[in-house]
Each structure stands twice: as structure tokens, then as C-alpha cells.
A and B are shown apart, each in its own frame.
Chain A
Amino acid sequence: MKNLNKTIVSSMVAGIMAASLSTAAVAESDGKVKLGILADMGGVYADICGRGCVTAAEMAIEDFGGKALGQPIELVTADSQLKPDIASSIARQWVEADGVDAIGGLVSSAVSGAVSKVNLNAKKLTMISGSASNTFTTKSCNPFNVHWTYNVVALANGTVKPMVQAGKKKWFFITADYSFGHALEGVASKVINENGGEVVGSIRAPLGTTDFSSYVLQAQASGADVVALANAGNDTVNALKTATEFGLTEMMDVAGLLVFTQNAQAMDPSVAGGMRLTTGFYWDMDDKARDWSQRFQERHGSIPSMIHAGVYSATTHYLKSVEASGTEEAEVVIKKMKATKPEDFFSRNAELRADGRMVHDMLSVEIKKAGERKDKNDIYKVIKVIPGNEAFSPMLPQCNFS
């Protein structure tokens, strides 16, 4: 019996040792490209970057030929559940143990912040497409951050500025209570003050609030000209719904600062019709965009949001740069990414700046009224194109990682 025990223990130890040798073989650069997509599969942002973000990345990999550096490109995905702790532990496992080279998707600024911290330590790329906060290229900028698609500065410049200049001077904010909402409110307030307007008040609602009535009532009592919704996804839809029920929309303007196509589709056209907003992409903006969107719609079942398009664009640019630099090591690849201009159906007059901000033309659009719509996907009327350098703020010297 004793002997048997000994054999069991010694064979276990031997097995463990053998396994440790094999795991130690996973080195820094393994010559394989492995991408991680972190999205929100079941939460308030699931429509704008859930399965769709995975589909977009899959399309990018397929269109690239499925191979990079002579080996098949691998894709892993996970649900961040919009929680920074869960996201950070998944990201940590990916980059430290599973050999993931870059993490994309990334909706919710809280999640992106946590992942970006992990990736900075591990020297891996963070390719943010879904988050809006400008902190990734300002206060918490780092050489491994790449921020695609849009940010709060572009939203404030695109949506808020023209409204203030048109005479809407008094503003009230209903803000999502986490880094994205705070950043958006901060940047928008600055734009309002600079253009001679004033912020008469603001209130913060937790992410995923379903009952906006108390917030809407406070907004109603504020005497503002415009109530700005500094939130996103289903939060915006719910807030607007409540605002309509309480008759707020008849008393003052409601401005959705961050509205995605999926949300615009969900809103009642009689309420949302005529609302101006800023977006990085619209599926119907031209032939190239329509082509891609058609393919996306066939696979995914609905038209792409700007985040979906951004994930595709960022992934493609990343894969091209990997192939061109002959390695998947982040420090080399990021240089290449910044040196070449991204050019596809999404990126117009685009460049990836040294601070990691991807600057491209944004669109100012208006939500169509019910009568103007051809079908359910016909949502926006493009008013004008905002050149990238007007939409985004200039690079900060301390974030220049060239």
C-alpha cells in the first residue's frame, strides 16, 4: 500500500514537471498571430459590440486570407460582462498564458482602462474600438494603446458645438456614472463654455439604469434649453423613452451625444426624428461602405454599428502591419501601424497618430423622420463630413510615442 502511494505521488510529480516544461516553451514571440476580442455578449452594449464585434473580426481575418507570417491567425473571444475586474482577469490570462498578441473590441471605457493597464505591463497591443473616453490618448496614454472609431471629443465637437452656436445656451446633462460619461460630460461642458453657453446642472445615473423618471424630472425642473444624454446604448434609448413619456421632448431639446445605429433604430422616429448626432461611420454613406455592410448584414443579421466597422478596420490594419514588419512583436508592429495610413471602406483621410489616436473624417448626421424612411435600415441623413483634424483634439506632447 505504501509503495503504491509512493508510485502515485512520484508519477504525479513527474507529470507536473513535464507539463511545466511544455508550458515554459511558450515564449515572448512565438511567430503566431493570436487576436483576442473582448465584447459585451449580454449587457446594455451587446447590440453595439457583442457578437457583432466577433463577426467583424472574423471577417477581417477571412478577408486577409486567414494566415499571417505563414501561420493561421487565431481568434479568441470572451464576454467582459462590462466589469473591469472580469475583463482584466481575462486579459491577463490571454496575454500572459495564452499567447494573445493584441486585444480588440473593448466596449465600455472602464473595461478598456483595465485591459490597457494589463497590456502595458505585458507589452501587448490594446486596440480600442468600442470605448469613447479620450483618456486612452490623453491622461492615461501609453505606447501600446490604439484608439479607433471615435471618442468623446469628436462627439462634443460634432454635436454640441453647432447647437451652442445656433443659440442653445443652457445645458443640462444626464450622465452615465463611469469614466465614459464623466469624460463626455467634461469635454462637452468645455465646448459649451468656450462657445458662450452654460451648464445649468447635471445628474449621474448608474450604467444600466432602467428607470430614468427621477432623472428626467430633475432635467425638466432645470430650465435648460437642451438636455444632453451623456450615456450610450440601451441607456440612451431608455432615457429618451422616459423623456417622451414625461413630455420633456416638447419642452426642450434632447440631444443624444452618443447614439449608435442600433439605438437609433430602436427609437420612435416621431420622437427621435430630426435629432442631430455625430458618428464615425454610416453603412449607407457610399458604395464601399454599402458593400461591406451588406456582407456584414448577411452574416450577422443586422446592419453594422460604427464599432463593428471600426473593429474590422483596426484588425485589418493590424494584420497588414504584422505582415509588413515580419513579426507580431507589439513594439515593432505599432511603429508600422503608425507609419502607414489605414485605407479602407471605414477610414477616410485617416492616420494613426503617434499617441495612438486614429484620426479620420467623422459624419454629422440627422435621424430621419418616419416619412423619410425607405425601410427599417434607412435611418440617417448625412448632413456634412467633419474633417478629422476638426473633430479630434491635437496630440499632447507627453503622449507623443513616435
Chain B
Amino acid sequence: MNNLKLNIFLLALALLAPAVLYPVFLAKVLCFALFACAFNLLLGFVGLLSFGHAAFLGTGGYITGYLMINSGLTPEIAILLGTLAGAALGAIFGKLAVKREGIYFAMVTLALAQLVFFIYLQAPFTNGEDGMQGVPRGHAFGALDLSDNLVMYYFVLAIFVFGYWLINRTVHSPFGQILKAIRDNEDRATSLGYDVNRYKWIAFVISAALAALAGSTKTLVFQLASLTDVHWHMSGEVILMTLVGGVGTIFGPVLGAGFIVTMQNYLSGGELGNYIHIIMGVVFVVCVLSFRSGIVGQLIKFKRNNFS
């Protein structure tokens, strides 16, 4: 099927969407979609389950927020620096974590993320439980006034498209082929002469950087960076988004993020607000038990069985 046509159609949909839906909500969906895509790059294409991705999301958010409040930098520079900070943290995490595999890899990332969480909880510049409030959105490139929600949305969309394109490009490059080879059979990749740990590490850093990019952008959208973004719940949520959408598919995490964020949004306002975690848990269980390849994975299967 011609993916290009589909992508153009989706982009057109994204460009028109703010006419119908609230732009800040859409921007939130895009931020989490980028976060989930970044996570999926590791889980879906290298087979590494990181349980500490919230640390990168939060780091990007806090660094960008801090710079926006305390320096006269324009938003795109602040986002760039937030992303670099996330990448640097990812480089350290990655170096330590790729030495181990499977459950130990997940535990190392979780432990490191908890360390980072505690630092943000105690460091004075984050304001602890209050979060970093009132982050100014500023003017992108010194000209675009981001305080207008619509402008903000298109700015976020541009960032998302860039991130999505980068992931797509990475996956379909020779480098991506090697990653998939590692995922499918690590020993064979080693025997072919590839330095497996190095490839894993690079993928980890890219994933961390993109997660931080999502966090930085999210801080600008909500004008707030809070502990929720670094808490391990967030690391769990991103796994849920990826699994529901379809792990190992390019578009799955986007759909998964959209699904989960929409669900949270509608449930928190209604009578079911108290049961939000129960409902999400049920969704997770149903997803894992009955359609393990996620929404997009299932659609692809359906198409393959019936239309070709």
C-alpha cells in the first residue's frame, strides 16, 4: 500500500483538526504521540524495554521550562537545549543499561529513572510538588507568537512531523536494518561483526533525545513542568500507549497515544473519574490478552488476510 498517500492524508487531517477539536488537546496528543514513537523505536525496533523513559520526558520539560523562565532564550533554542539535556542523560543511562538484557535492562533503567525523579523532587528549581508553573511560551524564532493556541498547535505539529520523519528515516535506514537484526537475533548480529552494544546505545540516545523533545514541547504547551512527567507512572503509561497502538509499527504509537490521552481526558471530567486507573488497567489486560499486536497491528493483519 502506498504509505506516502496515507501519510499525506493524515497530515492534511492534522492540519484541519484544530477547526473541530480544541488545539491544546490536540497538541497534548501530539506530544504524547512523539513520546510513544520515541519509546517504540527502542521497544519495537531494537527489542529493548526501557522502564525509565519518563526521566527523559521530564528532563526535557524541566530544562526547557527553566530556560524559558530564567533566560531570554527563544522557545526553539530552549527546546533544543532541553532535547540535548535529555540526550546527554540518555547517553549515561544507555551506557550503563545496554550492558544488561531483558528484565535486568528494564530494572536498570527504572532504577536510574527513580534516581532522577528524586533529584527533581528535591532540587529547589523544580518547586517540588507544585511544579514549575507559569512557563512563558514566548515567540518562536522571535516572530511567531506562541501564546495563540492555534500557532502553538502548528508549531507542535511541525516538531512532531520532524520527530516522526526522523524515526521513520532511522527505521528504514541501513542502521535501522541492523537494529532489527539485533532485535530478531542478537547472536547472529554479533557473529556478523556488528558491535551490538554500540548500536543499542545509539538507538537509546536517539530515543531519549526524542522523548526529551516531546517533554520540552509539552512544557511549552501547558506552561507547566511537573513531577507527573518524571514519575514512573509515566514510564508505564507510555508502554501502555505503545502496546495499545501496536508495538513495532511506525504509526501504532501515535494512535495508541491518541486513544489513551482521549480516554483520560474524557474520563477525568465525568462520573467515572475515580475509576480511571481501573479502566486503563482493564484496557491493558484486554489488549494484551486478545490483540497483542495492537490496533494498528490488527488492522495490518486484517488487511493482509482479506485484501491481498
Contact = CB atoms under 8 A, between A and B. Distances in A.
Interface stretch (A14-22, A163-171, A335-343): A14-22
B226 A83 contact: yes
Interface stretch (A87-95, A269-277, A307-315, A355-363): A87-95
30 contacts: A16-B17, A16-B20, A20-B20, A23-B19, A41-B273, A42-B273, A42-B274, A77-B269, A78-B273, A84-B129, A84-B131, A85-B226, A86-B228, A86-B268, A88-B222, A88-B223, A88-B224, A89-B222, A90-B268, A90-B269, A92-B24, A92-B222, A93-B25, A109-B130, A114-B133, A117-B134, A177-B129, A178-B130, A179-B130, A206-B129
A174 B25 CA distance: 39
A79 interface: yes
Nearest to B137: A121
Contacts of B229: 85
Contacts of B133: 84, 88, 113-114, 117
B16 interface: yes
A81 interface: yes
A85 B274 contact: no
A85 B133 CA distance: 9
Contacts of A255: none
Given A89-B24, A90-B268, A90-B269, A13 B16 contact: yes
Interface string B1-44: 00000000100000011011010110010000000000000000
Contacts of B130: 84, 109-110, 113-114, 178-179
Given A77-B269, A92-B222, A206-B129, 8 more contacts: A16-B17, A17-B19, A41-B274, A84-B130, A85-B229, A96-B149, A113-B133, A117-B134
A71 B298 CA distance: 49
Interface residues of B, number: 29
Nearest to A120: B134
Contact of B274 (A79, A83, A89, A177): A79
Nearest to A179: B130
Contacts of B149: 96
A81 B269 CA distance: 11
Contacts of A396: none
A274 B133 CA distance: 40
B24 A93 contact: yes
B65 to A, nearest CB: 12
A219 B53 CA distance: 37
A266 interface: no
A207 interface: yes
Contacts of B20: 16, 19-20, 23
A97 interface: yes
Interface in B83-139: 121, 127-131, 133-134
A84 B224 contact: yes
Nearest to B149: A96
Chain A binding site: helix, strand, loop or mixed by DSSP? helix
A179 B134 CA distance: 15
A128 to B, nearest CB: 15
Q: Which of B20, B130, B273 has most chain A Cβ within 10 Å?
A: B130
Contacts of B228: 83, 85-86
Contact of B129 (A20, A81, A110): A110
A96 B24 contact: yes
Nearest to B129: A178
A117 B24 CA distance: 16
Contacts of A96: 22, 24, 149
Contacts of A86: 228, 268
B269 A110 contact: no
Nearest to A85: B226
A119 to B, nearest CB: 12
A76 B17 CA distance: 25
A177 B128 contact: yes
Interface string B221-253: 011101011000000000000000000000000
A106 B149 CA distance: 25
A90 B270 CA distance: 12
A20 B222 CA distance: 23
